[in-house]
């Protein structure tokens, strides 16, 4: 059996090496480059591929794999919005993901970002760097006073809820699919409109679908309280970025923490030192004291990376051996 893994980073290598040592009967080929239309050929002779990238898995790429007889594709992450689902179905491919690698990794990051927004750390750091050590006028807000609206009560949303409750914040939640434990705590509100009306903070923990694209748009912002805080470590296109810029300008939104952006592959996880960045929305948001931008880094912990590597490889092996897998993605 042969598995080819694409986009293998140095920090992942020890986990790949350990898995290879535990599975000596499998030929594991590690490729540093991402899977694209050209590099697909490197998988010639493989029974499955393991991949990780924020760029799209286009129909052409999938077709190339299929032409090589490769139908088993295991993602080392959770989101599947960048996979051409129609092509997966057409080609009869099987895709697995890693639905749970470390929900607290992402939840803790988002809470950290909110606390930095509330305590205005970016403004203070800029001021202190200029040796201006006065307090005023950057008075902060307290987390325990917030009404945190959690959109999406899957594993990550629920991990975030636990942390917020530990800090004494009031939590309300919205999800089309109710979780029993959250229902028991009576945290659900009936509609997003109700969540917008009550919350002082909105944190997004939902996947990207057609119906969730630009869910935070001009109309949504208009329904919110003045001085809202917005946290998004899920997917960039959940927010209409121009509408967010307008809401920041009008002070409807007091601060935003964005770990994801609509066109993030232009900038994130790249070394752009000394380069001009041609992404006006990014530059606009990045320059603001009350906007924290991070390069899709919420997931990036030792526990997450280890689980992403091990679970994806196990899933690919399972697919190859049995034609089934616990983490098989069923596309809608």
Q: Known catalytic residues? A: 235, 264, 296
Q: How far is the CB of 53 from ligand COI (least distance, A)?
A: 7
- Beta-bridge partners for 141: none
**Nearer Cβ to ligand COI (15/196):** 15
**Nearer Cβ to ligand COI (199/237):** 237
Which residues of the chain form contacts with ligand COI (CB under 6 A)? 54, 77-79, 296, 299
Contact 305, 15 (CB under 8 A): yes
> Cis before residue 137, ω within 30 degrees of 0?
yes
Q: State the DSSP string of 134-179.
A: --TT-----GGG-EEEEE--SHHHHHHHHHHHHTT-EEEEE-SS--
Q: How far is the CB of 79 from ligand COI (least distance, A)?
A: 3
Q: Would you give the distance in Å from CA 194 to the centre of its chain?
A: 25
Q: State the DSSP string of 250-283.
A: TTSEEEEEES--TTGGGTTTS--TTPPP--HHHH
Q: Buried b vs exposed e over 177-205: b needs ≥16 C-beta within 10 Å?
A: eebeebeeeebbbeebeebbeebbbbbbb
Q: How far is the CB of 106 from ligand COI (least distance, A)?
A: 8
296 DSSP assignment: S
**Nearer Cβ to ligand COI (71/296):** 296
Contact 172, 195 (CB under 8 A): yes
**Nearer Cβ to ligand COI (59/79):** 79
3-class SS letters over 54-113:
CCCECHHHHHHHHHCCCCEEEECCCCCCCECHHHHHHHCCEEECCCCCCHHHHHHHHHHH
Tokens 């009869």 identify what position? 92
**Nearer Cβ to ligand COI (77/146):** 77
Phi/psi-derived region of residue 329, left when phi > 0, alpha when psi is between -120 and 50, beta in every other case: beta
Pairing of strands 147-151, 201-204: parallel
**Nearer Cβ to ligand COI (242/297):** 297
Q: How far is the CB of 297 from ligand COI (least distance, A)?
A: 8
Q: How far is the CB of 56 from ligand COI (least distance, A)?
A: 12
Q: How far is the CB of 5 from ligand COI (least distance, A)?
A: 15
């Amino acid at each position: 059996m042969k598995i080819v893994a694409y986009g293998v980073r140095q920090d992942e290598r020890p986990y790949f090496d350990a898995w290879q040592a535990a599975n000596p009967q499998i030929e594991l080929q590690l490729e540093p480059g991402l899977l694209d239309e050209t590099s697909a050929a490197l998988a010639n002779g493989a029974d499955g591929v393991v991949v990780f990238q924020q760029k799209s898995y286009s129909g052409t790429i999938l077709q190339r794999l299929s032409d090589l007889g490769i139908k088993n594709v295991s993602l080392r992450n959770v989101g599947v919005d960048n996979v051409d689902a129609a092509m997966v179905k057409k080609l009869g491919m099987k895709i697995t993901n890693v639905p749970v690698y470390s929900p607290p990794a992402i939840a803790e990051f988002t809470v950290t970002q909110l606390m930095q927004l509330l305590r205005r750390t970016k403004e203070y750091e800029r001021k202190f760097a200029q040796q201006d050590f006065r307090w005023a006028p950057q008075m902060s807000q307290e987390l325990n006073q917030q009404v945190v609206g959690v959109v999406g009560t899957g594993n990550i949303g629920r991990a975030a809820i636990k942390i917020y409750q530990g800090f004494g914040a009031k939590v309300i939640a919205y999800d089309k699919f109710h979780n029993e434990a959250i229902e028991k705590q009576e945290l659900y509100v009936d509609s997003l409109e109700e969540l917008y009306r009550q919350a002082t903070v909105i944190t997004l923990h939902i996947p990207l679908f057609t119906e969730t694209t630009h869910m935070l748009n001009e109309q949504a912002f208009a329904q919110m309280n003045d001085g809202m805080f917005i946290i998004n470590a899920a997917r960039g296109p959940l927010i209409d970025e121009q509408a967010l810029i307008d809401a920041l300008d009008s002070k409807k939104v007091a601060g935003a923490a964005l770990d994801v952006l609509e066109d993030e592959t232009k900038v994130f996880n790249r070394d752009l030192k000394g380069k001009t960045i041609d992404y006006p929305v990014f530059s606009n948001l990045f320059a603001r004291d009350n906007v924290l931008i991070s390069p899709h880094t919420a997931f990036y912990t030792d526990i997450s990376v280890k689980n992403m590597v091990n679970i994806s490889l196990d899933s690919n092996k399972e697919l190859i051996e049995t034609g089934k897998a616990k983490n098989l993605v069923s596309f809608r």
